[in-house]
């Protein structure tokens, strides 16, 4: 479709670089070298993407880029494609991978752990990139499995019983989900004889087979995205993983399956979708927001608070579906609702990663993360608390932060289309988020009570190195900076966020 | 980008960057932090000055950053934002100074000052926001940055406060956000425009706009502390004092109020909002908040809580002014934004000083603190008086404009709200002031360490803000005053041109101003320790310029455009006479007082009050404008409190209380009356006002309001209590001069000689005559000569009042009547003062009978003048009065009766004076001064009335046969009657001073007791604390339910259920 | 019903059985076996699809091969995790303190 331009080589490189890094970190036998290689590759990857995007902006070429690997066209060959949505997700992935790599380079000091961590980490990144730019449904399955297995292994890296149990449950859920997905894809192939998403999009009809496959694909992906009430596996897994892994899981991994849901529902299998089902997803999303916030408020451990916060924030993303259903716009994947949700994904990724890193720092300093015992933290760990608070600001959706812009866009769509009840959900969710963030800050600002940490733990506790603190703070700062100019991300997305003309929706 | 495009951004950054840098400074880097702080402050102020200059030269300043497609982050400087920016910048500077002093050697200062600067940056952003979305962003940022300040102390109370604060503001923020998004969806980018965005969009559905308005105002109302959204404010008192100051005066509550202004004017457009029926609701809520806040403040013993509730009340003035929806009320609301800020920040600084220096947190602990911390409490006093709305402090200006604005749109109920609020404010502030200045201090306080009562960093900010609060009131008319800015904005909002033609050169001090300023300067001098003795000794001579002006100057007039709303001081023939009376009485009582009070305690306080009173009395005599008149009137009334309670006895305290109650009632009545006068008459100076056009209710209020001061029957209760308890010279002044202020008020503001007001005139006439006679009866029973004289004053003032009443009924009588009343007033003033002074004289040595005779001789002279024997001033005054009323009004037929009554009273007075056991001594130096003053006064009594030009037409009649015989016959009759009843009088029990008030007080006491009992049985906790957020957990068991549902009961079942559900819904196509 | 359809239907039925197993079974090994059954079921459907048209389609074969690799990897990982948990024992060794 599109001639092989010099820039197109970027797409395979995006899979190649992390894969190469995975191999390199396996081969090298030094903690420092692994870290060095990783940071270098991460920087390379980010540099590449940024340069690519800047070039694209200047040439002003077509939105979707396709690369045909080895000249084998679909369905046999592997095709890579990147549209606006994928570009945004690739960029945010690259940014987070760089920061998290730096953080991990300092975080993992045990050589045995680094041996396992870095290859798995790069495998995860490979999977992420591949999933975003995969052009056919089966390649995406492979990427999903890659992500799933790497993520499970990374969760298990913590080595505690809780972490291992969580990892095992996570693994089973992942397998179950991807098998459902695979069955759905098989049925699609059976019906249409192709796996290429672009081709499928032109051919799909609303027949029972397509409906069944949509159903299977959706349930598989919903399970992986941890939409309430299928979220049961997420909090333990995200809360017990090592800090950088938690950050990556919450910020990126769950987004992949959501990204695929978006693709299938709004682009590929649109004829088979129904308004009712979209509203069901929205209602589950609303439920997730409220349940996640309440559970986060009740959670005893700081990382669990953050993990439940992810459950809640995922709920916001699912508001996309009812909003799209309400807007009746034909090109829903680039519509205002999708733009809002993508912005939300980006904002949440930055804020949540920052929050998990801050939580990790706090845990390292106190050697525990029981919320009720964190008194006086604002004095002992001011930067960690500041990071947590800034990230919290974005999660609550207060200006000036990316979260605010995302929420603004969501509200704009909701109110513009006359579905104000979703606006109430968004606003109420923000207030509930303020409650659990406020609870943590409340404890952090209070006077420390008598030293409760027993000597055992006191010995184990140590100040997190400055680099780790700065990484977390940098992400938090990014989440704030994101709120100052939303235009470039939206431009990248090629989406229009102009509200519908007054009078079209339910305003009259 | 040019500077014009950058400047608004730079202003915000000038607060933001120091804040961020301060976070990075180490805890111990004291000076680095101070330099950063003050550097930020000063650069911010410089930039604001640049901005002001630019806007004045009508340059456009706007920073526009893209935020979303079709929506920009706009920082724009218009007149309204400048008002708020300047306030924020200035008060930030002072608060920083204060905070540096306050947080000396505490923990977490970097964090504190960092957030402090960020908070100001957010406030500046709010001020400069050019559209609703920018406003919203900074508004929320403010919430975030103030939270760490509120919880700074980290104790349970402040954490609770923080939680409540967050709960309220977050909810408010969410509502605001909803409203803004909705509005944006309807109307586009929402850039503020002077006449409102929405007014130009007629296609919008009013129903939606109303709901949006409700959402936005509720959101803003949380910060503006409108009831019932105010709950966080009193709780937030747990924060350190500088934070409270900032929260209350500049940042948070103001942001809310400012937002309301923005939304009503620049988004909806005032006329559009009014047409939608939105403003009236807002006005109702604001009015309720004003009253509610004041009532709650009344019952707080904690000083900061009292101030907090006061803020709740005061901030709603801004909303009220906005909601009244008239140009003048708009000015009032906007200017209150600044004025309230200045006053409230002063109050909080002072409260902080008290807590820091002496550990005082409660009102009940403040007894006598004025003596320990005079400067702090002076600042507190100015601010508190301003809060009550007393001229010339800034608060009055706002109230005046609010009231005038309400009258303009005929919202008369607002006047009642303002009056109620003033009374309530007085009720909760005046006891504090009284306790601070007039109660004995607590001996356990830390004594002063140095000359300063507290560290200078804590002292300078409140003193400066208090001075500013005073200055913005006094110089309200100056071009750069907040009032002028507010006028500018209002002109813009209403699309009118308000031409400002102010000649800056005219602000040079004109000569008449010196008459008033001289005593004020001496009063200020009293505050300087080294000049104190000198100032006390020359205090009486402060009246000298006035005396010279009265004697030598030809009628002249000075306009002071910058002072008040454009003040006019005028010396005409009438005021020259009054000024003569005033100046001579002040001078004489001053000299007399030096002898009388030579070795008395609290001489400084007495002299201060004396000088302030003097300035007030000169000022009101000369003022030709409403603001000036009421300012000086108030100054005199309030300063006189110090004279009344000077002796400090329980009796004096009680008298002071009664006096103050009536003063406040009078002030409130006069406020309404003058407001009505200026609105209906179309101006502020007497030259502009058409006095004759005043509505009837104004006349009634004027009669009552000034009647209180003049001791009119039924409003006179304070007088017989207050006059006798004061020191003798003060009593002389009170009775001789100050009661005449009421008369002058009538004179100036009633439509005398223009319109016939029969009802009002007859009422005044009857009240006056009845008072003249009844006071005699009550007075005769007294056995304290001073109380007797006080009743005599009521009687005499009654005659004067009935004269004014006659003038009201028959306008054509007035030209002659006015001269007669003037004569009578001078006569009474001088004689009554002399009588009072005579009470304080000690008879000279018994061994020289000649001297003793002389003593009684000079004492008898004023008595005879009072009775009106031929050739005395009394005879002239009475003849003049009789001639000018010319038998037209029947009630004045009772005048001879009054003369007989006066005779009786005077005889009884002499009797009492003789009975009083006063050991005769030789004359000491102090006595010599007293005698000197007295003798001069007596000479004046004899001569002055005959010099007065107005007397000329009456003099020949005074010496006519009928007049002389008349003035002999009636006293003779009086003497006869007195001889008959003398023994009887000696046995009667005196009617308690204040007569009817005693009954009222008893009734009130019983009512209060009943109310207390009632409160005891139905204790209603009016506290409205934020609901504990934690409560939610008991309702919804969190993860446990989840575990039971999802983990134990097989997550797979849920999985299948969802699967089936989804399948069903997709298949349902 | 053609043979290919039968295979396909059987595959789907097997998938259901596998899913039932994953959900109902409590022991981890049983669960893993059930997961593998699900995998096999999907492969059956794919293989049936390969015979769908006139000529045998190679793509489903490629998919099955890849799928087997993935299934093996997943199973291995799960088994390793189960083993680790078993080795750690029932106590709270290695837990972060609460």
> Residue C78: which CATH number?
1.10.287.3510
Return the residue of C nearest to A190 by Cα: C49
Q: Tens digits of per-residue pLDDT, A391-444?
A: 998 998 888 888 888 888 888 888 888 888 888 898 899 889 988 988 888 888
Query: Which of B98, B608, B631, B88 lies closest to B378 in space, CA to CA?
Result: B608
Collect all residues of chain B within an 8 Å Cβ-Cβ radius of residue C22.
Answer: 1052
Looking at per-residue pLDDT, the higher value among B36 and B506 belongs to B36
CB pairs under 8 A between A and C: 107
Q: Which of A498-502, B133-137, B222-226, B293-297 has the lowest mean pLDDT?
A: A498-502
Query: Residue B1038: is its pLDDT beyond 70?
Result: no
- Determine, for residues A230 and B1051 on separate chains, whether the beta-carbon distance falls below 8 Å: yes
> What pLDDT, in 10s, does the model give residues C54-79?
778 888 888 899 899 999 999 999 99
* Contact call for C38 and A152, based on CB within 8 A: no
Nearest CA in chain C to B1050: C23
Among B78-87, B235-244, B630-639, B1060-1069, which stretch is predicted with the lowest mean pLDDT?
B1060-1069
Are B1050 and C22 a contacting pair at CB < 8 A? no
pLDDT band at A507 (very low <50, low <70, confident <90, very high): very low
Chain C's closest residue to B1051, CA to CA, is C23
- Backbone phi and psi for residue B685, each to the nearest 5 degrees, phi listed first: -105, 155
Interval B474-484 mean pLDDT:
77
Please report residues of C whose CB lies closer than 8 A to that of A171: 74, 77-78, 81
Q: Are residues B443 and B549 located together in one domain of the fold?
A: no
Q: Are B418 and B676 in contact (CB under 8 A)?
A: no
Of A142, A186, A370, the CB nearest to C46: A186
Burial of A383 (0-12, 13-18, 19+ CB in 10 A): middle
State whether B380 and B231 are in the same domain.
yes
Query: Smallest CA–CA separation between C68 and chain A, in Å?
Result: 11
Average pLDDT over residues A102-120: 87
Instruction: Give the per-residue pLDDT at A504.
Output: 34
C94 inside 8 A of chain A by CB:
yes
B1053/C22 CB distance under 8 A: no
The pLDDT, as a whole number, for residue A506 is: 33
Average pLDDT over residues B105-129: 86
pLDDT at C40 (0 to 100): 92
The predicted model gives A171-194 an average pLDDT of 89
Tell me the C-alpha distance between B407 and B412, whole Å.
6
B1056 touches chain C (CB under 8 A): yes
pLDDT of res. A65: 65
Q: What is the pLDDT of residue A64?
A: 55
C19 touches chain A (CB under 8 A): yes
Number of folded domains that form chain B: 3
Chain B residues lying within 8 Å of A428, measured CB to CB: 174
pLDDT confidence of residue A329 = 66
Higher pLDDT, B742 or B856: B742
Q: Which chains touch B (3 or more CB pairs under 8 A)?
A: A, C
Yes or no, beta carbons of B68 and A490 under 8 Å apart: yes
pLDDT band at B922 (very low <50, low <70, confident <90, very high): low
Closest by Cβ to C45, choosing from A159, A176, A183: A183
Average pLDDT over residues B766-780: 88
> Is C50 within the bounds of a domain?
yes
Let me know whether B943 and B1042 are in one domain: no
Report the pLDDT averaged over residues B258-262.
89
Predicted pLDDT of residue A122: 92
Taking the alpha carbons of A220, A221, A224, A230 in that order, is the dihedral positive or negative? Answer: negative
Q: Is residue C30 domain-resident? A: yes
Contact A186 C28 (CB under 8 A): no
| Interface pTM, i.e. ipTM | 0.85
Q: What is the DSSP code string of B497-549?
A: -------GGGGSPPHHHHHHHHHHHHHHHHTSGGGHHHHHHHGGGGGHHHHHH
* Partner-chain contact C92 A161, CB within 8 Å: yes
Of A165-179, B140-154, B1050-1064, the poorest mean pLDDT is in B1050-1064
User: Which is higher by pLDDT, A83 or B890?
Assistant: A83
Q: Which helix (H) or strand (E) holds B64?
A: strand B61-68
Position A461 confidence tier, pLDDT thresholds 50, 70, 90: low
Neighboring chain A residues of C91 at a CB cutoff of 8 Å: 161
pLDDT at B508: 44
Q: Between B855 and B290, where is the model more confident?
A: B290
Q: Do residue A219 and residue B1058 have CB atoms under 8 angstroms apart?
A: yes
Counting residues of chain A whose pLDDT is more than 70, the rounded percentage is 89
Mean pLDDT of A128-134: 91
Q: Annotate A300-329 with b (16+ C-beta within 10 A) or e (fewer).
A: ebbbbbbbbbbbbbbbbbbbbbbbbbbbeb
Query: What is the tens place of the pLDDT at every residue in B22-35?
Result: 888 777 777 888 88
Residue A59, classified by CB atoms within 10 Å of its CB into exposed (0-12), middle (13-18) or buried (19+), is exposed
- Rounded mean pLDDT, B524-551: 82
Give per-residue pLDDT as tens, B570-624: 888 888 888 888 888 898 888 888 878 776 777 888 888 889 999 999 888 888 8
Which pLDDT does position A94 carry in this prediction? 93
* pLDDT attached to residue B1069: 56
Give yes or no for A119 touching C (CB within 8 A): no
pLDDT digits (tens, 9 = 90+) for B986-1025: 777 888 877 777 787 888 788 777 767 665 544 433 333 3
**Residue B380: what pLDDT?**
92
User: What is the pLDDT, as a whole number, of residue B321?
Assistant: 87
How many domains does chain C fold into?
1
* B444 and B520 housed in the same domain: no
Residues B488 and B522 in one domain: no
Q: Which of B437, B463, B495 is the last residue of a domain?
A: B495
Task: Compute the mean pLDDT over every residue in chain B, rounded to the nearest whole number.
Answer: 81
Q: Give me the numbers of helices (H) and strands (E) for chain C, helices first please.
A: 3, 0
Cα separation, B794 vs B720, whole angstroms = 8
What subunits touch chain C, counting only 3 or more CB pairs under 8 A?
A: A, B
Using an 8 Å CB-CB cutoff, list chain C residues near B1052. 19, 22-24
What distance in Å separates the CA atoms of residue A322 and residue B17, rounded to the nearest whole number? 43
Within a domain: B49: yes
What is the span of the domain harbouring residue B1041? 1037-1067
Q: Looking at residue A99, what is its pLDDT?
A: 93
pLDDT reading at A298 higher than 80: yes
Q: For residue range C26-44, what is the model confidence (pLDDT) as tens digits? A: 788 888 899 999 999 999 9
The DSSP letter of residue A82 is: E
Between residues B962 and B937, the one the model is more confident about? B937
Q: Is B1052 on the interface with C (CB under 8 A)?
A: yes
**Residue in C closest to B1047 by C-alpha:** C23
Q: Inform me whether the pLDDT recorded for B1049 exceeds 60.
A: no
Query: 3-state DSSP call for residue B570?
Result: strand
Q: Is residue B629 part of a domain?
A: yes
Q: Do B107 and A379 touch (CB under 8 A)?
A: yes
Q: Render pLDDT for B662-676 as a digit per residue (tens, 0 to 9).
A: 888 888 888 888 888
Residues B55 and B197 in one domain: yes
Q: Which of chain C's residues have a Cβ under 8 Å away from the Cβ of A366?
A: none
Q: Length of chain B, please?
A: 1069
pLDDT value of residue A501: 37
In a shared domain, residues B516 and B454 = no
pLDDT for A508 equals 29
Q: Any CB–CB contact under 8 A between C85 and chain A?
A: yes
Tell me which chain C residue has its CA closest to the CA of residue A454: C97
Same domain membership, residue B556 and residue B491: no
Mutant choice from A179, A237, A301, A366 vs C, greatest count of C C-beta within 10 A: A179
Task: Quote the tokens at residue A191.
Answer: 């019906």
Q: Domain range spanning residue C19?
A: 3-88
Question: Judging by beta carbons within 10 Å of its beta carbon (0-12, 13-18, 19+), is residue B5 exposed, middle or buried?
Answer: middle
- Out of A110-119, B23-32, C6-15, least confident range: B23-32
Which of B54-63, B828-837, B918-927: highest mean pLDDT?
B828-837
Flag whether residue B202 sits within 8 Å of chain C, measured between CB atoms: no
Has residue C34 been placed in a domain?
Answer: yes
Q: For the segment B161-170, what is each residue's pLDDT rounded down to a tens digit?
A: 888 888 888 8
**Residue B729 near residue B590, CB atoms below 8 Å:** yes
**pLDDT of res. A143:** 92
Q: What is the mean pLDDT of chain A?
A: 84
pLDDT of residue B505: 40
DSSP secondary structure letter of residue B845: P
User: Quick check: is B930 in a domain?
Assistant: yes
In DSSP terms, B844 is beta-bridged to B921
- CB spacing of A393 vs B144 below 8 angstroms: yes
Residue A62: the pLDDT is 54
């Amino acid at each position: 479709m599109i001639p092989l331009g010099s820039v197109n080589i970027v797409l395979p490189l995006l899979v190649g670089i992390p894969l190469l890094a995975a191999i390199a970190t396996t081969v090298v036998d030094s903690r420092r070298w692994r870290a060095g290689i990783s940071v270098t590759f991460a920087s390379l990857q980010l540099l590449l993407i940024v340069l690519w995007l800047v070039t694209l902006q200047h040439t002003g070429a077509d939105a979707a880029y396709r690369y045909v690997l080895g000249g084998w066209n679909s369905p046999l060959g592997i095709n890579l494609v990147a549209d606006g949505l994928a570009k945004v997700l690739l960029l945010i992935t690259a940014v987070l991978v760089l920061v998290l790599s730096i953080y991990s380079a300092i975080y993992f000091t045990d050589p045995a752990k680094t041996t396992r961590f870095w290859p798995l980490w790069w495998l995860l990144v490979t999977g992420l990139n591949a999933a975003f730019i995969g052009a056919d449904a089966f390649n995406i399955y492979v990427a999903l499995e890659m992500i799933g297995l790497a993520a499970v292994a990374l969760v298990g890296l913590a080595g505690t019983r809780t972490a291992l149990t969580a990892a095992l449950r996570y693994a089973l859920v992942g397998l179950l989900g991807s098998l459902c997905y695979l069955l759905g894809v098989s049925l699609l192939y059976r019906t249409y004889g192709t796996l290429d998403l672009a081709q499928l999009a032109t051919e799909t009809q609303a027949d029972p087979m397509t409906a069944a496959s949509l159903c299977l694909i959706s349930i598989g992906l919903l399970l992986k995205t941890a939409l309430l009430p299928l979220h049961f596996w997420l909090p333990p897994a995200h809360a017990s993983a090592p800090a950088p892994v938690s950050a990556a899981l919450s910020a990126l991994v769950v987004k992949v399956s959501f990204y695929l849901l978006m693709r299938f529902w709004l682009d590929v299998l649109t004829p088979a979708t129904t308004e009712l089902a979209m509203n069901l997803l929205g209602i589950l999303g609303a439920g997730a927001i409220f349940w996640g916030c309440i559970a986060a408020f009740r959670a005893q451990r700081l990382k669990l608070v953050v993990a439940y916060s992810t459950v809640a924030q995922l709920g916001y993303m699912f508001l996309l579906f009812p909003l799209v259903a309400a807007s009746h716009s034909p090109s829903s994947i680039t519509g205002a609702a999708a733009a809002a949700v993508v912005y939300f994904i980006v904002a949440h990724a930055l804020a949540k990663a920052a929050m998990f890193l801050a939580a990790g720092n706090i845990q390292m300093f106190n050697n525990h993360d029981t919320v009720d015992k964190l008194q006086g933290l604002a004095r002992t760990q001011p930067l960690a608390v500041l990071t947590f608070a800034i990230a919290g600001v974005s999660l609550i959706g207060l200006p000036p932060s990316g979260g605010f812009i995302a929420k603004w866009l969501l509200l704009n769509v909701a109110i513009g289309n006359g579905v104000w009840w979703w606006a109430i959900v968004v606003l109420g969710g923000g207030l509930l988020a303020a409650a659990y963030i406020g609870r943590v800050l409340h404890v952090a600002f209070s006077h420390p009570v008598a030293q409760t940490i027993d000597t055992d733990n006191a010995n184990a506790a140590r100040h997190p190195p400055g680099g780790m603190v700065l990484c977390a703070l940098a992400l938090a700062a990014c989440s704030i900076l994101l709120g100052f100019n939303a235009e470039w991300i939206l431009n990248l997305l090629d989406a229009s966020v102009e509200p519908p003309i007054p009078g079209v929706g339910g305003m009259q | 980008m040019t500077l014009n495009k950058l400047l608004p951004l730079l202003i915000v950054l000038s607060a933001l960057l120091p804040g961020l840098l301060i976070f990075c400074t180490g805890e111990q880097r004291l000076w680095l932090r101070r330099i950063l702080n003050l550097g930020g402050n000063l650069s911010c102020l410089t930039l604001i000055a640049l901005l002001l200059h630019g806007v004045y030269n009508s340059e456009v300043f706007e920073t526009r950053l893209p935020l979303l497609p079709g929506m920009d982050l706009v920082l724009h400087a218009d007149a309204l934002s400048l008002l708020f920016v300047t306030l924020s910048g200035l008060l930030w500077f002072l608060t920083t100074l204060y905070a540096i002093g306050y947080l000396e050697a505490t923990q977490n200062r970097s964090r504190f000052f960092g957030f402090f600067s960020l908070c100001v940056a957010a406030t500046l952003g709010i001020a400069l926001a050019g559209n609703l979305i920018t406003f919203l962003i900074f508004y929320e940022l403010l919430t975030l940055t103030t939270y760490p300040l509120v919880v700074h102390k980290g104790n349970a109370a402040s954490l609770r406060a923080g939680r409540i604060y967050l709960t309220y503001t977050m909810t408010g923020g969410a509502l605001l956000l909803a409203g803004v998004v909705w509005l944006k969806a309807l109307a586009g980018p929402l850039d503020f425009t002077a006449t409102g965005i929405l007014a130009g969009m007629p296609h919008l559905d009013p129903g939606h706009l109303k709901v949006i308005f409700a959402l936005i105002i509720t959101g803003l109302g949380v910060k503006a502390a409108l009831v019932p959204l105010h709950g966080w404010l009193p709780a937030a008192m747990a924060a350190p004092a500088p934070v409270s100051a900032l929260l209350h005066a500049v940042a948070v509550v103001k942001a809310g109020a400012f937002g309301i202004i923005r939304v009503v004017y620049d988004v909806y457009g005032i006329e559009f909002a009014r047409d939608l029926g939105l403003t009236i609701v807002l006005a109702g809520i604001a009015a309720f908040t004003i009253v509610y806040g004041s009532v709650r403040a009344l019952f707080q013993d904690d000083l900061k809580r009292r101030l907090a509730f006061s803020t709740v009340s005061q901030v709603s003035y801004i909303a009220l002014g906005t909601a009244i929806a008239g140009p003048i009320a708009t000015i009032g609301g906007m200017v209150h934004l600044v004025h309230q800020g200045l006053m409230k920040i002063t109050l909080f600084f002072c409260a902080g000083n008290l807590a820091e220096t002496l550990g005082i947190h409660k009102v009940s602990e403040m007894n006598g603190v004025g003596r320990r911390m005079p400067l702090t409490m002076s600042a507190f006093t100015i601010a508190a008086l301003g809060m009550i709305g007393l001229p010339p402090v800034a608060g009055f200006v706002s109230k005046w404009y609010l009231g005038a604005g309400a009258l303009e749109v005929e919202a008369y109920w607002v006047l009642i709200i303002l009056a109620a609020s003033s009374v309530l404010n007085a009720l909760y502030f005046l006891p504090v002031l009284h306790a601070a200045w007039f109660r004995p201090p607590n001996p356990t306080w830390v004594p002063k360490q140095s000359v300063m009562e507290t560290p200078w960093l804590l002292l300078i900010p409140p003193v400066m803000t208090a001075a500013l609060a005073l200055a913005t009131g006094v110089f309200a008319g100056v071009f750069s005053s907040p009032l002028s800015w507010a006028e500018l904005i209002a002109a813009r909002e209403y699309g009118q041109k308000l031409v400002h033609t102010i000649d800056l050169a005219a602000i040079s001090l004109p000569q008449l101003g010196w008459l008033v300023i001289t005593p004020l300067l001496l009063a200020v001098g009293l505050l300087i320790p080294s000049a104190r003795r000198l100032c006390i000794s020359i205090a009486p001579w402060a009246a000298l310029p006035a005396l010279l002006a009265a004697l030598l100057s030809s009628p002249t007039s000075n306009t002071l455009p910058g002072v008040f709303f454009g003040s006019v001081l005028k010396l005409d023939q009438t005021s020259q006479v009054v000024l003569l009376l005033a100046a001579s009485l002040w001078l004489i009582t001053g000299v007399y007082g030096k002898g009388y009070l030579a070795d008395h305690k609290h001489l400084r306080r007495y002299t201060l009050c004396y000088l302030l009173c003097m300035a007030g009395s000169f000022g009101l005599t000369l003022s030709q404008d409403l603001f000036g008149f009421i300012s000086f009137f108030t100054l005199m009334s309030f300063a006189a409190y110090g004279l009344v309670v000077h002796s400090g006895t329980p009796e004096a305290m009680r008298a002071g209380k009664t006096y103050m109650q009536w003063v406040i009632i009078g002030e409130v009545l006069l406020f309404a009356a003058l407001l009505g006068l200026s609105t209906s008459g179309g101006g502020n100076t007497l030259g502009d006002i058409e006095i004759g056009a005043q509505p009837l209710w104004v006349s009634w209020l004027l009669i009552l309001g000034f009647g209180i001061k003049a001791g009119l029957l039924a409003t006179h209760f304070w007088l017989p209590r207050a006059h006798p308890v004061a020191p003798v010279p003060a009593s002389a002044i009170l009775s001789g001069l100050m009661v005449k202020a009421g008369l002058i008020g009538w004179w100036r503001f009633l439509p005398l000689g223009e319109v016939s007001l029969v009802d009002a005139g007859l009422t005044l006439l009857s009240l006056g005559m009845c008072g003249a006679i009844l006071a005699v009866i009550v007075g005769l029973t007294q056995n304290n000569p001073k109380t007797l004289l006080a009743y005599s004053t009521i009687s005499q003032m009654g005659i004067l009042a009935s004269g004014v009443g006659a003038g009201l009924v028959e306008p054509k009588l007035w030209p002659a009547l006015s001269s007669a009343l003037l004569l009578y007033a001078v006569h009474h003033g001088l004689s009554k003062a002399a009588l009072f002074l005579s009470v304080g004289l000690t008879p000279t040595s018994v061994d020289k009978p000649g001297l003793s005779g002389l003593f009684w001789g000079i004492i008898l002279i004023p008595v005879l003048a009072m009775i009106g024997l031929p050739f005395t001033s009394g005879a002239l005054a009475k003849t003049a009065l009789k001639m000018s009323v010319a038998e037209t009004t029947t009630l004045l037929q009772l005048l001879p009766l009054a003369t007989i009554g006066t005779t009786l009273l005077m005889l009884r007075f002499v009797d009492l004076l003789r009975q009083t056991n006063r050991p005769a001594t030789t004359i000491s130096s102090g006595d010599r001064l007293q005698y000197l003053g007295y003798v001069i006064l007596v000479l004046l009594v004899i001569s002055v009335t005959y010099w007065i030009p107005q007397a000329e037409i009456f003099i020949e009649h005074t010496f006519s046969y009928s007049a002389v015989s008349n003035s002999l016959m009636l006293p003779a009759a009086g003497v006869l009657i007195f001889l008959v009843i003398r023994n009887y009088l000696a046995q009667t029990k005196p009617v308690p001073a204040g007569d009817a008030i005693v009954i009222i007080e008893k009734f009130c006491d019983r009512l209060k007791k009943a109310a207390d009992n009632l409160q005891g049985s139905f204790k209603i906790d009016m506290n409205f604390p934020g609901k504990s957020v934690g409560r939610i957990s008991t309702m919804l068991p969190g993860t446990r339910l989840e575990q039971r549902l999802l983990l134990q009961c097989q997550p797979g079942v849920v999985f299948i259920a969802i699967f089936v559900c989804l399948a069903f819904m997709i298949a349902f196509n | 019903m053609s043979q290919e359809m039968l295979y396909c239907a059987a595959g789907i039925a097997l998938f259901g059985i596998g899913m039932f197993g994953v959900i109902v079974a409590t022991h981890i090994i049983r669960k893993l076996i059930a997961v593998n059954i699900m995998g096999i079921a999907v492969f059956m459907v794919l293989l049936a699809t390969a015979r769908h048209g006139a000529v045998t389609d190679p793509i489903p074969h490629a998919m099955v091969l890849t799928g087997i690799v993935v299934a093996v990897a997943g199973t291995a990982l799960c088994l390793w995790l189960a083993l680790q948990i078993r080795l750690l024992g029932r106590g709270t060794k290695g837990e972060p303190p609460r």
